[in-house]
């Protein structure tokens, strides 16, 4: 036995010729593997793998405290696997809609809706333009969407407001999310109208004065199917010509929104606030706004006329009402999406 084998008694050695043959075999095998990989071609997406899906818009209308019902609507849609590709909101609809479009789940929205306090949203001030500054609302939204701009949301989003002087509708689809929601919620005579861009831009007020349920805006943004939510329609049979605000409505953030929008969107307005616009013509504008809502493919009207939202238990009732009204229309929504999808396949 050699000295080398004595030092390494348990090690086996291959001859140089065998090593050469093994190396050649491995190289050949590797070459065949590379060749096989190169021969594979990517499969192009087909209609079967990626069917054409219609652009579904969820339109959330104004309505102050009744807007908690929007959370229930989202909850029912989510439970049934329906996710919109676009969310358009006015006033409280823009508040709920911005959070949802930024990525909140229905459960997260419900938790936030039940826990949020007026003090988180209301900043009183002394001004001849209003008594709520609106900065807290803006900061609340921006904090909860992670400081992201509207255009970075996973679901396309638009907030509807109105130019204060001309009453021209404004639809914000980019930029500061908190500022857009602040503008959309700025009830005349109550909130100080923000400027967009800040400090140098035009002043904007609550979108409910021109588009309570912004169906037309959703259509303009390319929606194929529009699901509109009107939380004020259930109150239509209630006379409130001389409605006196309650103590609660004058101390609640949601009450501030509800006083102005829940019934005719312009009760607090007068000719001194907007040039060349009379109070009567403003009230008359409610009729065409109802027609706008009816141009939606699906209209959801939660039964919330008898519900207040001063305490948490009532907020839960509002959310439940929204979910119930939506569940009743799930079959119609799914059928509409199916029909539109099939039509798109045939025409593509």
Catalytic annotation on 91? yes
Cα separation, 333 vs 300, whole angstroms: 11
Asked if residues 259 and 308 have their Cβ atoms less than 8 Å apart, the reply is no
Phi and psi, residue 80, nearest 5°: -105, 15
Compute the residue count for the chain: 348
211 vs 236: CA distance, rounded Å = 17
Q: CB–CB of 213/293 below 8 Å? A: yes
Query: Pick from 95, 85, 299, 320: which is nearest to 206 by CA?
Result: 95
Q: What's the CA gap between 155 and 153, in Å, rounded?
A: 5
Is residue 113 within 8 Å of residue 72, measured between CB atoms? no
> Which residue is listed with tokens 């609302």?
137
Sign for the pseudo-dihedral over CA of 203, 209, 211, 212: positive
Would you call 228 helix, strand, or coil by DSSP? Answer: strand
Residue 201 · residue 272 · CB < 8 Å: no
Is the Cβ–Cβ distance between 261 and 62 less than 8 Å?
yes
Answer whether 295's CB lies under 8 Å from 242's CB: no
How many CB atoms are located within 10 Å of the residue 248 CB?
A: 14
Q: Which of 94, 156, 176, 206 is catalytic?
A: 206
Q: Which alpha helices (H) appear in the chain, and where do they start and end?
A: 3-7, 16-39, 69-79, 92-101, 106-115, 135-144, 177-184, 215-220, 253-261, 279-284, 286-294, 312-327, 330-347
Of 91, 102, 211, 309, catalytic = 91
What per-residue string of b and e applies to 206-235 under the rule 16 or more CB within 10 Å gives b?
A: bbbbbbbbbbbbbbebebbbbbbbbbbbbb
Catalytic residues: 91, 206
């Amino acid at each position: 036995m050699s000295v080398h084998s004595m030092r390494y008694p348990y090690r086996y050695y291959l001859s140089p010729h065998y090593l050469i043959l093994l190396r050649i075999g491995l190289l050949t095998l590797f070459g065949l593997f590379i060749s096989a990989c190169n021969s594979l071609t990517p499969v192009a997406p087909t209609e079967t793998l990626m069917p054409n899906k219609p652009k579904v818009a969820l339109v959330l209308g104004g309505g102050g405290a009744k807007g908690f019902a929007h959370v229930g609507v989202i909850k029912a849609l989510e439970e049934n696997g329906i996710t919109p590709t676009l969310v358009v909101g006015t006033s409280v609809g823009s508040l709920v809609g911005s959070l949802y479009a930024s990525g909140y789940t229905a459960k997260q929205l419900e938790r936030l809706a039940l826990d949020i306090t007026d003090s988180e949203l209301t900043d009183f001030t002394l001004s001849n333009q209003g008594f709520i500054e609106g900065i807290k609302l803006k900061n609340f939204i921006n904090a909860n969407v992670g400081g992201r701009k509207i255009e970075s949301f996973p679901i396309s989003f638009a907030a509807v407001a109105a130019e204060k002087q001309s009453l021209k509708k404004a639809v914000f689809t980019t930029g500061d999310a908190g500022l857009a929601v602040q503008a959309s919620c700025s009830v005349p005579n109550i909130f100080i109208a923000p400027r967009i861009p800040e400090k140098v831009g035009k002043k904007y007020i609550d979108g409910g004065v021109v588009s309570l349920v912004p169906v037309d805006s959703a259509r303009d943004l390319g929606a194929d199917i529009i699901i509109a939510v009107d939380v004020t329609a259930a109150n239509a049979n209630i006379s409130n010509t001389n409605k006196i605000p309650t103590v609660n409505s004058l101390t609640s953030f949601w009450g501030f929104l509800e006083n102005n929008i829940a019934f005719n969107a312009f009760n607090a307005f007068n000719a001194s606030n907007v040039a060349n616009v009379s109070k009567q013509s403003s009230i008359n504008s409610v009729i065409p706004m109802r027609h706008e809502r009816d141009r939606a493919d699906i209209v959801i009207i939660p039964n919330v006329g008898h519900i207040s939202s001063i305490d948490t238990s009532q907020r839960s009732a509002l959310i439940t009402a929204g979910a119930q009204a939506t569940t009743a229309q799930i079959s119609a929504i799914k059928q509409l999406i199916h029909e539109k999808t099939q039509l798109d396949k045939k025409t593509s």
